[in-house]
Amino acid sequence: MLILATQSYVTDASVAAAQQAFHQSTKIPHSFPLDGGLPLAWHDFSGDSWSDLVAHQASTGNIYIYPFSGSFNGTATLGAPVLVVAGATDVNWMGVGEVTGDFNPDLIVRKTDGTLWVYPGTGKLAVTGTFDPPIEIGTGWNSLSTLIVGDIAGNGYDGLAGRQSNGNLVVYPHTGEFDQFNTLAPPELIGTGWNIMRWIGDADIASDSETGFPDIVAVDNSGNLDIYPYSGAYSGTTTYTGPIQIGTGWNIIKQLTLMDVTHDNLVDIIGTNSGGQLLVYRYSGGFNGTSTFTGPTVIGTGWDTMDLIA
């Protein structure tokens, strides 16, 4: 069963109205609720405290939310998909975070023209109204070959990080206000030589879950899964230490994302393989080399139609 939401992708009128509504900045409170090092609430679109999976279909551009069923139970883990954005064929990256300041999960997307947009979450997963109309917050983002959402700057707000064409890893800290093109601060360098990575994500894996500071999780071009632990201070190129290798053979995984699938307040890895299977690698609960993640467990099939997950 496919549940259809009536929200269209973008109309000039809806965008203009939304941007006018947010022309005056929205100050965002500190103290976002972190859980297990990943702001798990930012993935809960249905309001049931379970993380939900977002997927973009390559052929149609449709974006679906797959609510979790309430039980980690193989292919029954995911509920029926809800179509929340239709026809977004020009989206080439998406992520989930909380950037608008209302404690609801937002969808952040990059279009092929390099513009960056936020779909503000309404706090409900419904036939209509999962997201308010999109707000443009940036241009020129095609210069970054990979993007991640998270509070890497440690200021209590979800910003973005990305890899530049020269291999530099940079952070765009959230300014503390949701104010269109003033939402994100200019980039700050935190690493070099990151062009050896094919995928980069962030979650608290190593040792500081009580603070919620994210570590960098990455798959390099050889298929190694590496952790770059947070050093304890946001301090340029010394923000992260490592890498520490925790897995091999990850080049068989196509799309990857991080969230708590098993509802144990620990961050798991979700990925798709070339056979179209959706896989979960469970976090063992301890940072322990190649035993850090276990599995995989198959929770879905037919996912080769999806080119993005978040």
State the DSSP string of 220-233.
Answer: ETTS-EEEE-B-SS
The predicted pLDDT at position 23 comes to 40
The predicted pLDDT at position 213 comes to 79
The predicted pLDDT at position 127 comes to 65
* Cα separation, 289 vs 293, whole angstroms: 9
Per-run averaged pLDDT (10 residues), the chain, 310 residues: 42 46 44 39 83 97 95 95 96 96 94 98 87 97 96 92 98 96 98 97 72 86 96 94 95 95 90 97 89 95 97
The predicted pLDDT at position 275 comes to 96
The predicted pLDDT at position 249 comes to 96
* Cα separation, 128 vs 86, whole angstroms: 12
CB atoms within 10 A of CB 205: 30
| Beta pairing partners, 14 | none
Q: pTM of the prediction? A: 0.88
CA–CA distances in Å: residue 38 to residues 202, 212, 214, 260, 300: 8, 7, 7, 8, 23
The predicted pLDDT at position 8 comes to 44
> Please, what sign has the CA dihedral across residues 55, 110, 84, 269?
positive
The predicted pLDDT at position 36 comes to 34
- Residue 227 makes CB contacts below 8 A (sequence gap 6+) with 205, 206, 215, 216, 217, 218, 242, 243, 244, 246, 287, 292
